[in-house]
Structure formats: C-alpha cells, structure tokens
Copies of this chain bind each other. A is one copy, B any other.
Amino acid sequence: MKMRIVVIGANAAGAKAASKAKRINPYADITLIDRGEFISYGACGIPYFVSDTVANIEELMSTPVGVVRDANFFKKVKGINVITGTEAVGIDRQTKTVHLKQKKDSGLFSVEYDKLVLATGSSPALPPLKNMELANILTVKSIEDAELLKQKAVSGHAACIVGGGLIGLETAEALKQKGMKVTVIEMRNQLLPGVLDAEMASLVEKHCRMNGVDVMTSSRVTGFGGTGAVASVMVDQCEIPADLVVLAPGVTPNTGLAKEAGLEIGATGAIAVDTCMRTSDPHIYACGDCCETSHLITGRKVYVPLGSTANKQGRVAGINAAGGEASFAGILGTSIVKIFNINAGKTGLTESEARACGYDIETILSPAPDKAHFFPGAKPIALKLVAERPTGRILGLQAVGEGAVDKRVDAVAAAITFGATAEQLAHLDLAYAPPYSAAMDNLIVAADILKNKLAGHAKGISPMDVKKKMDDGDDFLLLDVRSPAEHAEVSIEGAKLIPLGMLREKLDSLPKDKEIVTFCKISLRGYEAQKILDAAGFKDIKFMDGGIMTWPYKLRSDTSLK
C-alpha cells in the first residue's frame, strides 16, 4: 500500500514538508490540509502589500515565475492533494486518524495517516484588552488581514500599532507611507526588544521619529474606546485617538491540536521536537511556527518563529516523514527588519540576552561606512559585537544603519555557527573592492577593537555609562578628539576639545590623575587618544564605545546619524 502522509497547515513549513516528502517518496500519497482558503503565501510580504510596494496580493501567493501556488498548482506540479477551508479538530493516535471539519458546511470527516506532519503555525499573542471586538482593530497574519488593512489605511487618519517588534515596525512604515498619522506603542522600554540592546534600539527609535512616526515605549495598552469602530487606544493614564489599530504583539504557537492529542509541549510552550523534527509520537512530526527549537549558542530550547526557519524545518520534517534522513540542529535567532531607510538586524545573543544567560562578556560598538568611505553611496552602519570574555568566542552581533547591515549579519551568523572567536572573525577573508566595503571591512575593524578590549589594550566605556557619570555628577573629563569643524557641527555638552593631531603637544593641559573619557566620531581616534595618554603616563583613560555616532542621547545639534 502507498504510504500516506498527512500535513496539517499549508504555509511555509507545511507546504515545504509536503513537497519535499513527495520528492523523496514519489509513490507516497500526500494530503496537505489548511483551514484557510489561501495557502503557501508569503505572510512576511503583507506590510509591503499594504504600503503598495507590492502592487498585487497574488504576488505574495505566486512562485518567482508568477504561477499562483494554489490547490491546483500543488496537484498538477507537485502531485499533492490539497484540502483548504478545512480545520483539523482532533488526532486519534491509536488509529492514526485526523478528524477534520469543513468550515462552511460543518461536515465532519477524517483522513488516515502513516506519518503526520503538524505545521499549525502561530497566532498573535493577544492579552485580554477592553473593547477588543470593536471594528478596525486588526492583526497582520493572513491574506484577509492584508486586504482589510490596505482598505482601512486611509491617508490623514490615525493609526496605532500595538507592539514595537519586527512586524509592528514594518507595519508602521507601511501605514506612514499610506499617509496615516502613526503611533507605535511598546510595553517594554525600547523598540525591538529581543532583537536589539537598548542603545542600538534607540538609533531605530530616532529614525522612526525622524520619519514622522510617534513612538511610545514603556507604555501599556489597557483597552480601546469607540462605538462600533475603534476611536481611541487607552494607554496607561491617557487616551490616544485612533481610526485604525494594528495588533502586532509577539506570536504564540498553535498547539491546541497537539496538546489534545497528548503530544509533549516544551518549556517554551511550543511543541517539543527532536532534531529530526519528530514529536513525542514517532509517527508525528512538527515544523515551523508551532514548534520549538534549540539555540545554537546557548543550547537552550527557544521559540523564535520565522519564515526562514519554517522552510528549513519543513524540509527536514518532510524528508523524515517520507522515510529519508535529515536533521535540524537549531537557530541563532537571526532576524532583520527594514524601517524607512535603515536596516536593523541581529544574530546570536544581544548583550542583555548574554548577561541573562550568565555569560561573562565583553562588547564593542563600532560605527563605520559600509563601503570604502570615498565611494559614493557609502552609508554608515553601527555594529555591536558581544563576546565571551575568557574564550573570545563571539556570542552575537547587532547592526543598525542605512548601509548594508544584512551582509554583516549573515557573515557573523555563518561564523558563530562554527564557534568563531574575535581573532577568527578579524581574519575572515571577506570580499573587498571599494563598492562593497572598506579594505578593512566594518566587521574586521569591530573584531579588532574587540580583540584589543579582550586583551586589555583598549579600555572602552559604553555611552550609557558615560551618560550615567554625567547625570551622577562624577568628576571626570570628557575629551573630544575630533577636528574643530566636526566639533562645531555637533557635540556632546560639556566635552573638552583637543583634536587628535594636537594631543601629543597639549598633554600638559590635561590632568594626569583624573579619569578621562576620550571620544571621536566612531571611536577609532578615541582609542588612539587613549593609547597616547596611556603612554604619556596618564592613569585612568577610557574611550567611549562607538563615539558620537552611537551616542543615543541629546546632542548639541541632532544630526549624528545623517
């Protein structure tokens, strides 16, 4: 008898699992079931459809050559049976049967399986909020959401985005581009929590404000006002007018079916799987947004649902379900987002994640142009590397800026998969020509500074710690070693100016025993200044990580990330 493989959920992970299973075992009978009418679509593209960047919703459901991936496509091209508009309501593991219910006519029926793949996805993690049933309170998940959102995005009207994560920010940009007045409301004290550390996130927040998006952090939404349709959002003590609300909180795995069937659920709340994507039942696999995975740096179980991971896991689940052999080791939590003109991404652990995991760490902030500085179109990007102190192993990278952030994130993602140290990162043979990078790529420079810090040659202090010293009224000297022209354009209040080229001659004008914090535009001259002062016998010299370019606070003239 033909092997019967049933896949529940026909988006990224499920569609991939079904297709791969059929390729591995062309004689298998494969059924792909989805509760929606649309399958195998690019949900990640929804904000771009809303902003008119993508003109036609069909583009999100098509192959690169323009064929719509519908039931007919899967039947004709892949040899897979697709049942849409049908919900799986129960799994009988004894008889290996899935019970199904057609939404429209409520007819109940069932399919038998030899192997079952769960790709049930995730849902927005909505807390109970007052008046959530009002019209024009939407999420960003399905094709139906996309069409409704586009229809409601009326120029001049006010939109509130609840949640300042990846999807929240993409949607904020989309609605702003449609001419709406946009406010992002985030519960945590920064945008992109879990993706960026606070000082990196502040660069993103600055950029959002520059582009006319209002940002409220440390703000909790308690409910909505209005009759029939939403008219306002209640945030802590105040009420913000809103014609449209987009709920973009985190997501939660759809585990109902798995739980009822008695499958093991992991500590993260998602379906537990082994590296073969097998659940606690050897005949049932899970992949994509419904299951957990391992973090390659910490070894811990994590829940980081992403389309890229879903595809890889779907492939592995499909191969194993069809009788082949494949495994998926885990992820690095790599993620990236474009917001107006800047790109913000990370791979591995942020500083706060690393500290929370108990690592003894060193960090470095390093801003620099993404191409040879003389090449037109070179744009700044700020890198933050996090390394384990005793070993020098790189734990993570964050990158924010107008330039090519994705390239540096991908290179570091590849390197830390293999446990790269700062030393090894500094010697990567990356592709160099002026249109692509400086002769010393940003990553190489950042890794070199990190090496200097790990070895104790460079003594850095973070912008936040400098700000704290200022606020605490500490007795220290903030020394700007940039040129007078740079200093005149923008500077930090209270800093003393001695251009680096004059420093060796003006040593006598500085107090030998006082704490001095040097800085420049990006930190390289700041570090040179530290070395000059160290060599001249000064006792307590540090340079400020990232220089004025990553100073997240007020400047005398606010043009630092231009």
Contact = CB atoms under 8 A, between A and B. Distances in A.
A296 B429 contact: yes
A531 to B, nearest CB: 5
B306 A338 contact: no
Interface stretch (A2-10, A434-442, A490-498, A510-518): A434-442
Given A406-B436, A414-B415, A336 B431 contact: yes
Q: Which 5 A-B pairs have the closest CB atoms?
A: A26-B535, A418-B418, A308-B432, A414-B414, A64-B373
Interface in A400-459: 404, 406-407, 409-415, 417-420, 424, 426-437, 439-441, 444, 448, 457
A439 B311 contact: yes
Interface in A17-33: 23-24, 26-27
Given A308-B437, A335-B433, 13 more contacts: A23-B528, A44-B432, A64-B522, A65-B520, A65-B521, A76-B500, A76-B502, A308-B439, A308-B441, A312-B427, A331-B429, A404-B406, A413-B431
Interface in A153-197: 166, 170
Interface string A37-48: 000001011001
Q: How large is the interface on A (under 10, 10 to 19, 20 to 34, 35 or more residues)?
A: 35 or more
Contacts of A432: 44, 306-308, 334-336
A532 interface: yes
Interface of A: 12, 23-24, 26-27, 42, 44-45, 48, 53-54, 59-60, 62-65, 67, 73, 76-79, 166, 170, 296, 306-312, 315, 328-329, 331-338, 343, 345, 347, 368-369, 372-376, 404, 406-407, 409-415, 417-420, 424, 426-437, 439-441, 444, 448, 457, 482-483, 486, 500-502, 504, 520-522, 525, 528, 531-532, 534-535
Nearest to A170: B433
B307 A439 contact: yes
21 contacts: A23-B457, A23-B531, A24-B457, A26-B531, A42-B372, A42-B439, A44-B432, A48-B434, A60-B374, A62-B373, A64-B368, A64-B522, A73-B501, A308-B444, A338-B433, A338-B436, A406-B437, A409-B430, A413-B430, A414-B428, A417-B418
Interface SS of chain A: helix, strand, loop or mixed? mixed
A58 to B, nearest CB: 9
Contact of A308 (B77, B328, B404, B430): B430
Given A42-B439, A48-B374, A434-B45, A369 B79 contact: no
Which of A296, A372, A410, A528: most chain B Cβ within 10 A? A410
B308 A440 contact: yes
A309 B78 CA distance: 48
B65 A338 contact: no
Contacts of A419: 418
